[in-house]
Amino acid sequence: MNISYSWLKRFLPVQLDPKRVDELLTDTGLEVEGVTEIESIRGGLRGVVVGEVLTCVQHPNADRLK
């Protein structure tokens, strides 16, 4: 049976990392065959740059560009 860590966290009284949850489940007699990390975005968010536009002015040499 596969269980989502996100789903399982709703039932835990404290924030625990997946490795610690694995250990606790095993210690209580529940067999954990493995933990697989699945990224919703391939490669995660490494290298992502976030910017904020502070001003927006009309381009001086073009009617259609801002």
CA distance 16 to 64: 53
* Containing structural domain, residue 6: 1-66
User: Can you spell out the DSSP letters for 13-54?
Assistant: SS---HHHHHHHHHHTT----------SSTTTTTT-------
In sign, the C-alpha dihedral spanning 30, 24, 3, 38 is negative
pLDDT tens per residue, the chain (66 residues)?
A: 888 888 888 888 788 888 888 898 899 998 888 888 877 777 777 778 889 989 888 888 887 776
Structure tokens at 11: 């039932």
CA distance 19 to 32: 11
